[in-house]
Amino acid sequence: MPTEQQVDDWVKAYVRAWRSNAPEDIAALFSAGAEYHEWPYETDWIGREEIVKGWRSREAWQQGGWGFEWSVLVINGDTAAIKGTGVYKELGTFANLWTVTFDDQGSCAMFRMWNNQV
C-alpha cells in the first residue's frame, strides 16, 4: 500500500515528465505492462512503450505554457485517487480525476483519468 508521500512523489514525477516530455522520464513512471486510459478521449495505451509514444504525441498541448495543481483524495490498498486541475494557455482549464494503481515497486500499473474541460 503506497503512502500519501509516495503518491505525492509519483505525481510530482508525472508533472516533471509532462514538462520534459523525455521518454526516460515518462517510462520511469510506469511498469512494463501498464495501462493508461483517459476519458472522454479514447485513450487506451497498453504497455510502457505505447504509453511513452502516446504521451509524446501530445507535446503540442503544452505550447504557450501550463500549470497543474493536485491533491490526493484517498488511498485504498494499492490505488490512489487524485484530483487535479490543469491550466493550459492554449487549450483552457481541465478538471481531472485520476485513479492510479501501483505495483509492488511503486510504479503505476493502471492509470485512469477523467478529463473535463471547465
CATH number of the domain that residue 40 is part of: 3.10.450.50
- What are the pLDDT digits (tens) for 1-20? 899 999 999 999 999 999 99
Domain count, the chain: 1
In this structure, the chain runs to a length of 118
Backbone dihedral angles phi then psi of residue 65, each to the nearest 5 degrees: 105, 160
Nearest to 49 by CA among 62, 63, 33, 70: 33
Nearest to 31 by CA among 83, 115, 102: 102
DSSP secondary structure code for residue 2 in this structure:
-
Cell reading at 15: 508533472
Q: How many Å apart are CA 27 and CA 12, to the nearest integer?
A: 14
The CA R_g of the chain, rounded to the nearest whole Å, is 13
Range of the domain at 31: 4-117
- What are the pLDDT digits (tens) for 17-76? 999 999 999 999 999 999 999 998 889 999 999 999 999 988 877 778 889 999 999 999
